[in-house]
Every structure is written in C-alpha cells, then in structure tokens.
C-alpha cells in the first residue's frame, strides 16, 4: 500500500525501515513533511504485515489500523508547550523537563510523560517517541532524555525533528543517526493531490514548493492565499479600501499561513518593494506577539504597505 509519505519520501523510508538504532534526527525546512515521515517510521517499526516497495507499513494490519485511527498505543508525540500558564500563546517555544518527568510537570501541561510511557511494554513491536521540535528541548529536558536514548527501555525508538541542525543540542545530535527530509518534486505533490481525489491546483503546488506539510492544511492555505490577494488588490484601490481590507484581514488572520501567503502574493514585485513589505509584515507580527491592539496594528500595516508599493 503506497502511502502519501512513501510517495513523497520513499528513498528515505527505505533507510529508516532497516534502522535498528535507538534514535533518529530528521532535519528539514518547516512544513517539508518531517512529522509525516516520523509517523510513517513509527508505523514501519510496528507493522506486523507485509511492507510496501519502499519498506513502508502495510496499512492493513492491526497496528496500521490503529495508526490510521489516530490512537496507537505505542506512539507518544512530544511538542513544545503552545500556551503560557495564563492561557496566552507562548512567545518562546520550549519543551520543558515536565514533558519528560511527571513529577516535574507542576502545571500538568502534558497528559503523558516520556519516562512513564516507556515503562510500559509495547502493545505491538516497538514504542516510539516523536519529539517534534528538538531544537526547543530545554537543557534539563535534554539531560533527562539522554539515559533513555542511550538505553531505551524495551528497545524503544526516539525520532527527533528539527528545522535547523545547528539549533539541536550536541548531546542529542551525537546520539542520533541524522537524515535530511528535503522538499519533494512538484510532480510528486501533484500525484499526492490526485491520490487524495483532488485535481492538481497550480497555485497550491507553487506555494507548497515541495513541502508536503502544506497539503495537510490545504483549505486553510487556499483561504489565506485568497485573503492575501484580496488584501493586496485593495491596497491599490485607495486608502479607505485598504483600511477596510485590513479590518477583514484582522478577523481572518491565521498566523500559520497568512504571513507566508502575503509574501507569496508579493513575489512578482520589485526587490525594493518586497523588502519594504517584509519589514512592514515583520512589524505587524511583532506587534501581535506583544499583544498590541490588533485593529490599530493592521491599520498601520495597511498604511505601511501602501507606502511600500508606492500607493501612499
């Protein structure tokens, strides 16, 4: 059974399928599909059926069905905390020691902790811990993990994911086999869309630029691209149109996709215009992260963009 991960990263899965070490470190750009690959690796190492042509999991055995249902007993995903204790978005991403040790998780931010998870024998073949954001591991958390990585209980597997290898602590790097997850060819992205029952979308494929992670949120991406085009067009129609469009953009703002969609929309402008627009966008994002007035911040953003594009 050819999965989307195998379609886009088959040669990589051929390597991971025969890996018998304790830890892998997957690096690559944001949204390139590192998590999809990590999940495919976890499925590989628990599959009890006949693997596919790239060594990918069969997709039909009891373990694979558990993965498809999103409730596999041998998988633990660890991520940076997304909010502060007051419920606001965290400005600084970090995986604290509380993610590793239940006794250090004072705020009960993590439902399952790594040490306790690994104390239990696997239901299928191998317990797998995916650390998505290895560059955000705090020193204490990383130190607590080292003994587990060196001698994982019951032969568990760690899969660390990071955008920048240089940001990962040397102690994690030295104990992991390193592999790069690279952007897939546009043709592979188109084939995945076809496989999932959609006609290839030229704009979406161009925006994805080989990053499989974009496709997992394609409707949000399409909405952000439409908003970016509408907003940019409004800037040219006059000051009132620009301010009204800024108000609409504020209400629809998706921090994960709108900034990139705006830059994608501006790609045909001159380098000077793009540089000034990028500066304005950076200022907007900084203001929002500092909890400034969103309404005022978007109005100022619209004014700065009109000036950047020679409309002011």
Whether 196 is in a domain gets the answer no
Q: Which helix (H) or strand (E) holds 76?
A: strand 75-78
pLDDT, residue 312, reads 61
Q: Compute the distance between CA of residue 304 and CA of residue 283 in angstroms, rounded to an integer.
A: 10
CATH of the domain at 135: 3.40.50.300
Is residue 114 located within the same domain as residue 10?
Answer: yes
Q: Which of 165, 182, 199 is the last residue of a domain?
A: 182
229 shares a domain with 176: no
Residue 86 lies in a domain: yes
The token pair that represents 156 in the structure block: 């568990």
Q: Looking at the DSSP assignment, which residues form a beta bridge with residue 175? A: none
CB 63 within 8 A of CB 72: yes
Joined tokens for residue 199: 């006609």
Strand ranges (E), 163-309: 177-180
pLDDT of residue 204: 95
Alpha helices in the chain (DSSP H): 4-17, 34-44, 62-68, 114-119, 139-150, 170-173, 186-195, 202-208, 212-215, 218-237, 239-252, 258-265, 271-289, 294-308
229 and 149, same domain (yes or no)? no
Count other C-beta atoms under 10 Å from residue 277's C-beta.
23
The two structure tokens encoding residue 112:
């399952």
Residue 191 lies in a domain: no
User: What is d(CA 48, CA 61) in angstroms, rounded to the nearest whole number?
Assistant: 6
Q: Is residue 207 in a domain?
A: no
Could you read off the pLDDT of 212-255 as tens digits, one per residue? 889 989 999 999 999 999 999 999 999 999 999 999 999 999 99
pTM: 0.83
Does residue 160 lie within any of the structural domains? yes
If you compute the radius of gyration of the chain from its CA atoms, what whole number of angstroms results? Answer: 22
**Residues 223, 176: one domain?**
no
Asked if residues 263 and 228 have their Cβ atoms less than 8 Å apart, the reply is no
Task: Give the C-alpha distances (Å, rounded to integers) separating 7 from 14, 93, 193, 216, 271.
Answer: 12, 32, 11, 15, 36
Looking at the fold, whether 34 and 164 belong to one and the same domain comes out as yes
Over its length of 312 residues, how does the chain's per-residue pLDDT go in tens digits? 456 777 788 899 999 999 999 999 999 999 999 999 999 999 999 999 998 888 999 999 999 999 999 999 999 999 997 655 555 555 578 999 999 999 888 888 888 999 999 999 999 999 999 999 999 998 999 999 998 999 999 999 999 999 999 999 999 999 999 999 999 999 999 998 998 888 889 999 999 999 988 998 999 999 999 999 999 999 999 999 999 999 999 999 999 999 999 999 999 999 999 999 999 999 999 999 888 899 999 999 999 999 999 876
142 and 255 both lie in a single domain:
no
Q: Look at residues 267, 236, 260, 235 and name the one whose alpha carbon lies nearest to residue 248.
A: 235
Asked whether residue 99 falls in the same domain as residue 224, the answer is no
Distance CA 273, CA 233 (A): 15
* 159 shares its domain with 28: yes
Domain total of the chain: 2
Domain of residue 107 covers 4-182
Choose one of 182, 201, 234: the last residue of a domain.
Answer: 182
Q: Are residues 173 and 236 in the same domain?
A: no
Burial of 27 (0-12, 13-18, 19+ CB in 10 A): buried
Q: Quote the CA–CA distance of 37 and 43 in Å, as a whole number.
A: 10
Same domain flag for 297 and 164: no
Domain check: are 177 and 232 in the same one? no
Domain assignment of residue 30, yes or no: yes
User: Does one domain contain both 225 and 287?
Assistant: yes
Asked whether residue 58 is domain-assigned, the answer is yes
């Amino acid at each position: 059974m050819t999965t989307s991960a195998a379609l886009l990263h088959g040669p990589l899965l051929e390597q991971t399928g025969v890996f018998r070490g304790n830890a892998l470190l997957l690096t690559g750009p944001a949204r390139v599909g590192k998590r999809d690959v990590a999940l495919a690796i976890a499925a590989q190492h628990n599959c009890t059926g006949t693997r596919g042509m790239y060594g990918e999991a069969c997709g039909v055995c009891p373990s694979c069905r558990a993965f498809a249902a999103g409730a596999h007993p041998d998988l633990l995903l660890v991520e940076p905390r997304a909010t502060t204790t007051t419920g606001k978005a965290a400005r600084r991403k970090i995986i604290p020691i509380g993610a590793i040790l239940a006794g250090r998780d004072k705020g009960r931010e993590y439902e399952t902790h790594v040490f306790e998870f690994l104390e239990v024998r696997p239901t299928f073949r191998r317990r797998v811990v995916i650390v998505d954001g290895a560059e955000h591991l705090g020193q204490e958390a990383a130190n607590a993990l080292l003994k587990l990585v060196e001698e994982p209980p019951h032969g568990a597997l760690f899969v660390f994911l990071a955008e920048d290898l240089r940001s990962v602590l040397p102690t994690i790097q030295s104990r992991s086999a390193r592999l790069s997850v690279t952007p897939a060819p546009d043709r592979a992205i188109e084939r995945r869309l076809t496989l999932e029952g959609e006609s290839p979308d030229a704009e979406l494929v161009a925006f994805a630029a080989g990053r499989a992670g974009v496709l997992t949120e394609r409707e949000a991406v399409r909405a952000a691209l439409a908003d970016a085009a509408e907003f940019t067009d409004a800037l040219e129609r006059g000051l009132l149109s620009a301010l009204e469009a800024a108000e609409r953009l504020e209400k629809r703002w998706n921090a994960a996709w709108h900034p990139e969609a705006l830059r994608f929309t501006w790609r045909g402008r001159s380098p000077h215009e793009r540089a000034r627009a990028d500066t304005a966008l950076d200022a907007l994002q900084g203001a929002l992260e500092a909890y400034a007035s969103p309404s005022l911040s978007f109005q100022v953003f619209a004014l700065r963009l009109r000036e950047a594009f020679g409309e002011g």
